[in-house]
Structure 1
Amino acid sequence: MASSSSSSSARGELEKMGIDQVKALKEQADLEVNLLQDSLNNIRTANARLESAAGALNDLSVRPQGKKMLVPLTASLYVPGTLDEADKVLVDIGTGYFIEKTMEDGKDYCQRKINLLKSNYEQLFEVMFNSICGIEDILKD
């Protein structure tokens, strides 16, 4: 009930606005939705990187010490190396800071960050969905 009365009052206010004001309001709503979509894409990208890091930690944990391997410097540049200590990893905690953690703590860190990103993604998606539905309800009336 509250939704229909709020959309009715929104429609009433829209009818009082000039065409330029309605266009400006629509542009503002479109901008908000685009910003939310960009945020969702950024979260998806960060989640993919963390999933990749978690997979790399799982692969690394089963390799024996002294194993020769290719070490990634970037996404496309690798150098040869030898696995020295498989039980310790460096974890990027942001803004150029790294901390040394045990393998299990590193896996746990990645999983916690993945869960946090998934939660943030779901919340942002709900906000965006509600914004789009609100815009459509107003325009439909």
Structure 2
Amino acid sequence: MTQQMRNQINVQDLKPDQLASVKDQLSQELTILVPLTWSLYVPGKMNDTSRVMLDVGTGYLIDQPASTAKKLLNQKALLLSVNLDQFQSTIETKQENLSLENELIQIKLNSSNNSNK
């Protein structure tokens, strides 16, 4: 039996309080990417997973409880989804208008060619 297999724990054999302890320990060991610049990230670890720094735009960070930050990010994702749907609708309308204008130009060119013959 290898060392790794001996160190494995069957989670089904653990009691609820032990599972909670393992969960806390694992959440403390989460590796994250910490932004140093807009394009450079380095690996890091969170000491306190109950609070996070949330980027609210233009380089401003706010300290928030993780649950509040999650709600804010979900709201932002919903807003982006709505904006994306509106943008998609605008693009489709513009494409339809462009297609109609191209058809009109083609009709006018054909009629001018026919009249010149």
Aligned partner of 1:139 among 81, 102, 111: 102
Aligned partner of 2:71 among 83, 96, 108: 108
Aligned partner of 1:68 among 15, 25, 29: 29
> Which residue number in structure 1 is paired with residue 49 of structure 2?
86
> Which residue number in structure 1 is paired with residue 59 of structure 2?
96
Runs (4+) of structure 1 exceeding 2 A deviation are 65-71, 73-81
8 A contact 2:53–2:64 mirrored in 1: yes
For normalisation by structure 1, the TM-score amounts to 0.48
Bigger proportion of residues as helix? 1
Seq. identity, %? 19
Letter in 2 for 1:79: P
Letter in 2 for 1:139: N
Gaps of 5+ in 2: 1-21, 105-117
Larger Rg: 2
Letter in 1 for 2:24: P
- Alpha-carbon RMSD across the aligned residues, in angstroms, is 2.5
Letter in 1 for 2:31: L
8 A contact 1:68–1:80 mirrored in 2: no
* 1:139 match: secondary structure: helix
Letter in 1 for 2:28: K
Distance 2:55 2:74 in 1: 14
Gaps of 5+ in 1: 1-61
